[in-house]
């Protein structure tokens, strides 16, 4: 009887502790990151903070945006790769004919042409990330804090 009670306690604990990806390596990007600031050529771009969240899992990135009233959430999905100091995101082009959910998030100035978006990873710590993207000769700096 004692073994049954012990099993009832241990099995749920083991089930909750098992989280693996990429052969057990979660990676530095795994989880949710809140966009806290965007700079364009050294000047802060006016935007509401904390309204955009990036979630990275496996090779998928989800970008969620809490829109202005009536406060709905808009989602965008793409693929990503992270190698060294480069982070590449791939979304569909604006004219791809696909649902909006696969197009690049326009509200944070991402190009809409469907080409890979290649960031320089300036900082990637346990709770902070800074990415740099050059768009048409202007440098955009995206600053994030990890939320999960």
Instruction: Write the pLDDT tens digit of every residue in 106-145.
Output: 999 999 999 999 999 999 998 999 999 999 999 999 999 9
| Top-confidence residue, 132 or 66 | 132
Asked if residues 71 and 88 have their Cβ atoms less than 8 Å apart, the reply is no
The set of residues, in sequence order, having a beta carbon less than 8 Å from that of 122 and lying 6+ positions away, is 130, 131, 132, 141
| Interval 84-99 mean pLDDT | 82
Q: Tokens 């050529």 identify what position?
A: 41
How high is the pLDDT of residue 47?
64
pLDDT band at 94; cut points 50, 70, 90? low
Q: Which of 75, 76, 78, 54 is nearest to 131 (CA)?
A: 54
Whether residue 105 lies inside any domain: the answer is: yes
How high is the pLDDT of residue 22?
46
Judged by average pLDDT, the poorest of 18-32, 48-62, 66-80 is 18-32
pLDDT band at 17; cut points 50, 70, 90? very low
Whether residue 48 lies inside any domain: the answer is: yes
The enclosing domain of 59 has a CATH number of 2.40.128.280
Whether residue 44 lies inside any domain: the answer is: yes
Whether residue 114 lies inside any domain: the answer is: yes
Q: Structurally, how many domains does the chain consist of?
A: 1
The rounded Cα 67 to chain-centroid distance in angstroms is 17
Q: How far apart are CA 116 and CA 136, in angstroms?
A: 14
User: Any idea what DSSP says for residue 4?
Assistant: H
| Top-confidence residue, 23 or 73 | 73
Q: How far apart are CA 123 and CA 130, in angstroms?
A: 5
Asked if residues 64 and 35 have their Cβ atoms less than 8 Å apart, the reply is no
Whether residue 16 lies inside any domain: the answer is: no
Whether residue 8 lies inside any domain: the answer is: no
Whether residue 97 lies inside any domain: the answer is: yes
Of all helices (H) and strands (E), which one includes residue 17?
Answer: helix 2-17
**Domain ranges, residue 79:** 23-146
């Amino acid at each position: 009887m004692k073994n049954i009670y012990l099993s009832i306690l241990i099995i749920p604990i083991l089930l909750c502790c098992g989280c693996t990806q990429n052969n057990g390596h979660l990676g530095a990007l795994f989880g949710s990151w809140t966009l806290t600031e965007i700079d364009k050529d050294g000047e802060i771009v006016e935007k509401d903070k904390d309204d955009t969240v990036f979630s990275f899992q496996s090779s998928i990135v989800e970008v969620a945006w809490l829109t202005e009233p009536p406060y709905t959430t808009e989602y965008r999905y793409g693929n990503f790769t992270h190698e060294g100091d480069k982070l590449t995101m791939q979304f569909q082009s604006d004219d791809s004919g696909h649902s909006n959910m696969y197009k690049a998030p326009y509200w944070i100035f991402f190009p809409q042409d469907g080409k890979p978006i290649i960031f320089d990873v300036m900082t990637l710590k346990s709770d902070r990330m800074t990415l740099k993207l050059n768009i048409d000769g202007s440098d955009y700096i995206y600053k994030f804090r990890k939320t999960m």
